Amino acid sequence: MEPFAIFAIVIVVGVNTVLWGLVGLARFTYGRLRPRPASMAGPPLVSVDQVAVLIAAHNEELVLEHTIASAAAHVRPEQVFVASDGSTDGTADVARRMGANVIELSPNRGKAAALAAALDHFALADRFEVALLLDADTTLDPDYLISGLPPFDDPEVVAVAGRATTSVDAAPSTRFGRFLVAYRERYYVVLQYLLKYGQAARHANVVSIVPGFASMYRTSALRHIDIAAPGLVIEDFNMTFEVHAKRLGRIAFRPGAAVAHTQDPDTFHDYVRQMHRWTLGFWQTVRRHRMRGDRFWGALTLYIVELLASSVLLLVILPLIVASALAAIWADATGDPSSPAATFAAALPAWALLLGLLIPDLVLSLVAALLTRRYAPLRFAPAFFLMRTIDAAICLRSLVETYARRRTATGQWTSPVRRPRHAATSQAR
């Protein structure tokens, strides 16, 4: 195969995906072969009574009831705390009706500042061992705490990253919406199974994000984290970087533990807006934290190099495929095998470029389906590479905004359009 096509395959699959996927496989194999210590057979050292659930919400009355009901299936309602951040709807009323503790903030100050205000107002670090940070559109698996609390038995663990999966109780009404949600689910699987699981290995500890949608922190660690750092559009990258920068401890993650369901965008506008916030928040956090010569920054540098290379490639390869195909058609029409068009088409055959882009991307979709045993999204898989191209454009745009335009943010937020839920996730406490 042509060298450029081979390069495309490597970039599309990802060096980081292969590297951390192998580390994750080794971790999984070792965990299966190693006998479980008798000390791990008992109940976790941190009980559910020592967990506070903290939800920052801005105009979320449509979904908040189900989220609080999901949390209340694990803890008492009085252990649920809601920061209604400048809401102009019935968010605070819904929270109170569900038995949660509520603080109303005005004006809208942003998710990070709302979390910090609620932590301080309710003195959660003094009253609880663990804080579960939960988005207002998130529901927890029935065994979220059963599977998520045991890692805190290790005193080195200061955070447990929740595993994100797409909510199925509010299916998109359009085919394109279902395509977007299917693509996002594959993104979650690749990120969490093939990257984060390996990065969270005990001797690696290079996880770059503890997602703010449904993750847990020791409250003792939260005392040292600048949750509402100024100038950032989102908080979860920064909170994770702070764990590493201040050497607070280890981040735990397993795909089968602390699973939660989130409602992903089903319109192109909301998808682009969310991806822009995520990537802008990432680059802003990278800019805020100084590079250090440690393991975390080594892994992060490798990721950034590949992210930039793959983004540029994905934006270049589609125009190259079109140009090569047109050059081949022109060369055939003129019958001149030595023309520049024929030389270009021979050097970069459109079929090789297309296969180099499409086949490895389809392999990722197949691997994701096998890992989760969810095969329905495969019907959308042939078009997923187009969304990766859009992601690449958003990533590079955010990079320019962060470094060239020095863009900062107030943190103020506007929730995306929510889909009504059909049923709440529940479990008897």
How many of the other CB atoms lie within 10 Å of CB of 416? 17
| Res 199 pLDDT > 60 | yes
Residue that is written with structure tokens 């003195």 in the block: 123
In a domain, 389, yes or no: yes
Q: Is residue 221 part of a domain?
A: yes
pLDDT, greater one: 327 or 351: 327
66 inside domain: no
Segment 238-258 shows an average pLDDT of: 96
Give dist(CA 257, CA 34) in Å, integer: 19
The predicted pLDDT at position 349 comes to 86
DSSP string, 345-395: HHHS-HHHHHHHHHHHHHHHHHHHHHHHT--GGGGGGGGHHHHHHHHHHHH
pLDDT for the residue 33: 84
pLDDT tens digits along 260-270: 998 899 999 99
Choice between 116 and 170, residue whose per-residue pLDDT is larger? 116
pLDDT at residue 237 in the model: 96
Residue 37 pLDDT level (bands cut at 50, 70, 90): low
pLDDT, mean of residues 119-128? 96
For residues 379-404, give the mean pLDDT.
95
Q: How far apart are CA 79 and CA 97, in angstroms?
A: 14
Residues 6+ apart with CB under 8 A from 85: 56, 57, 58, 105, 108, 109, 110, 111, 113, 114, 413
Q: What is the DSSP letter of 192?
A: I
Residue 357, pLDDT score:
82
Q: What is the CA radius of gyration of the chain?
A: 23
Rounded distance between C-alpha atoms, residue 74 and residue 142, angstroms: 8
Asked if the model's pLDDT at residue 376 lies above 90, the reply is: no
Q: Which of 103-112, 343-352, 413-422 has the lowest mean pLDDT?
A: 413-422
Residues facing residue 194 across a β-bridge = none
pLDDT, mean of residues 9-21:
81
Give a yes or no: residue 105 inside a domain. Answer: no
Of the pLDDT bands very low, low, confident and very high (cuts 50, 70, 90), residue 70 is very high
Mean pLDDT, to the nearest integer, of 112-124? 96
Give yes or no for residue 356 having a pLDDT over 90: no
* Distance separating alpha carbons of residues 199 and 316, to the nearest angstrom: 30
65 and 138 in contact (C-beta within 8 Å)? no
| Cβ partners under 8 Å of residue 103, min gap 6 | 81, 82, 83, 84, 117, 118, 121, 122
The kind and range of the H/E element at 251 are strand 250-252
Does the structure show a pLDDT above 60 at 138? Answer: yes
- Both tokens of 21, joined, read 């996927």
pLDDT-derived band of residue 45, with 50, 70 and 90 as boundaries? confident
Q: pLDDT averaged over the chain?
A: 89
Q: What is the pLDDT of residue 311?
A: 94
Q: Confirm whether 171 is domain-assigned.
A: yes
Q: Helix (H) and strand (E) counts for the chain?
A: 16, 10
φ and ψ of 172, to 5 deg: -60, 150
What residue numbers bound the domain in which 378 lies?
1-29+129-421
Total number of domains constituting the chain: 1
Q: What pLDDT, on a 0 to 100 scale, did the predictor assign at position 3?
A: 59
The residue whose two tokens read 């903290």 is: 54
- Phi, psi (5° rounding) for residue 321? -60, -45
Question: Is the pLDDT at 38 greater than 80, yes or no?
Answer: no
Q: Tell me what percent of the residues of the chain surpass a pLDDT of 70.
A: 89
Evaluate whether residue 48 is within a structural domain. no
Using DSSP's 3-state secondary structure scheme, residue 46 falls into coil
Q: What is the pLDDT averaged over residues 57-86? A: 94
